[in-house]
Structure formats: C-alpha cells, structure tokens
Amino acid sequence: GNSVTQMEGPVTLSEEAFLTINCTYTATGYPSLFWYVQYPGEGLQLLLKATKADDKGSNKGFEATYRKETTSFHLEKGSVQVSDSAVYFCALSGGGYSTLTFGKGTMLLVSP
Amino acid sequence: KAGVTQTPRYLIKTRGQQVTLSCSPISGHRSVSWYQQTPGQGLQFLFEYFSETQRNKGNFPGRFSGRQFSNSRSEMNVSTLELGDSALYLCASSRDRDVAFFGQGTRLTVV
C-alpha cells in the first residue's frame, strides 16, 4: 500500500536559516504529491503540490521537487521566518486526489 | 468564497454515547472526505463521499459512519464512543479528483 515517511521533529531554526524537511514515499503507479501546513488550533492548508515526475511545486518561498528516481519530495525554504512555525505534512494521493496518505508531520520552530 | 465549515468546533462526550459531526463543503465541491488526527496515529483517512455515495473507505470499525446530502453537505457519526475516539476530525472538500481543501476540524473529547 501507499506510505509516506518524513523526518522526525521538532526542527528548530533561527530566523533566516535554510530549511529542509525530508519526505520519501512508497506508492504504486504515479501518485500526486503534496505539502500541507497546520498552524496551532487550525486545519490543514495546502502549501504546494506536484503531479508528475520532475515537477517543482512552489508557494510563499517554499519549494519541493517530485523526484521519482529517489521517491522523494523534500520541502525547502531559503530563509525561514518566525511565522513559518507550524507542523508540515507530506502527503500523496494515487488514483485521484480525494484520498490522501499522510506522513506523521514535522514540527518546525523558528526563533527570532 | 467561503471555505470548508465544520461544526461544532469542540465537543465533549461520555463513553458509550454517540456523536454527529457536520461538514459544509466549498460551494461547487461534490467530494467530501473525512480524516481522524491523533498524536499517536497521525492523520488517517476515514471515508470519502461523492454525489451522496461512499466512494472510498479507510480501515475503521463500523461504529464510524457517514453520509452526504444532495447539497453535498456531509455528516459523520460515531456510535458507542470509546476513549480512543478522542481526536481532531477533519473534513476536506474538493471538486472531483482535485486538490483537497480542509476545514478547521472538530475537536472531540471522550471522557
């Protein structure tokens, strides 16, 4: 079956540091890949997506590239802000976006 | 454009009771999915409804059920509540096979 593995947190960074959150997946066929973000007390917000190999999703300074050869979709940001502090979830869907398989989530804490 | 609305936001129930949660999708979205989020198990898929039909189902006991109405609004029901059912229940809506948009969730506490 489908599965997503992402790095354990929390990830603690100072403002303006470079961020990488690793995500690898196992899936049959050609899944679509997503990063969602969850702020305290809130639901999930779509951060970015990629639907095929070598696609790069980007939004608000965050980027991730769909790497089929390494089955990875690592999230990066060049300079984090305190407001980026949240939990980040990597997810995939196969055969339609309606059913998502999520990783366990990675908490990011950014200090001034 | 209004987002996905879940009601209520918070619920406290006693073991053995039943509970109904409601989800109003984004206008024009006909697919509604439900997820359970707990610290131990993370985010787990419960079921998906499309045009009033259950299209997909996760690995949850029969105590968890749902339905969708003709206006795409959805409800999920949990009967005979157990302490382990305490969780954040998230609803997501989408156009058919498109990106999912999530509501803020219903926090259920079973005591």
Residue B107 main-chain phi, psi, to 5 deg: -90, 110
Closest Cβ opposite residue A43 in set B55, B96, B104:
B104
Would an 8 Å CB–CB cutoff place B102 in contact with chain A? yes
Provide mean pLDDT across the span A13-31. 94
Under a CB-based contact definition with an 8 Å cutoff, are residues A26 and A46 in contact? no
* pLDDT (average), residues B75-104: 93
Considering only CA atoms, give the Rg of chain B: 13
Instruction: Quote the CA–CA distance of A100 and A102 in Å, as a whole number.
Output: 6
Distance CA A34, CA A73 (A): 8
- Residue B24 tokens read as 């109003």
- Cα–Cα dist A32/A91, whole Å: 8
Local confidence band at B1 (pLDDT 50, 70, 90 cut-offs): low
Chain B CB contacts of A87 under 8 Å are none
Closest by Cβ to A46, choosing from B6, B55, B101: B101
Cβ neighbours of B102 in A, within 8 Å: 36, 43-45
| Whether residue A112 has a cis bond before it, omega within 30° of 0 | no
B28 touches chain A (CB under 8 A): no
Name residue, tokens 């790095």.
Answer: A7
Predicted confidence band of residue A41 (pLDDT cuts 50, 70, 90):
confident
Output the DSSP codes for chain B. Answer: ----EEE-SEEEE-TT--EEEEEEPPTT--EEEEEEEETTTEEEEEEEEETTEEEEE-S--TTEEEEE-TTS-EEEEE-S--GGG-EEEEEEEESTTS--EE---EEEEE-
3-state class (DSSP) for residue A8: coil
pLDDT in tens, A73-103: 999 999 999 999 999 999 998 765 568 999 9
Confidence of residue A111 (pLDDT cuts 50, 70, 90): very high
What is the arithmetic mean of pLDDT over B25-38? 95
The fraction of chain B above a pLDDT of 90, given in percent, is 89
Inspect the interface and report whether the beta carbons of A89 and B43 lie closer than 8 Å: yes
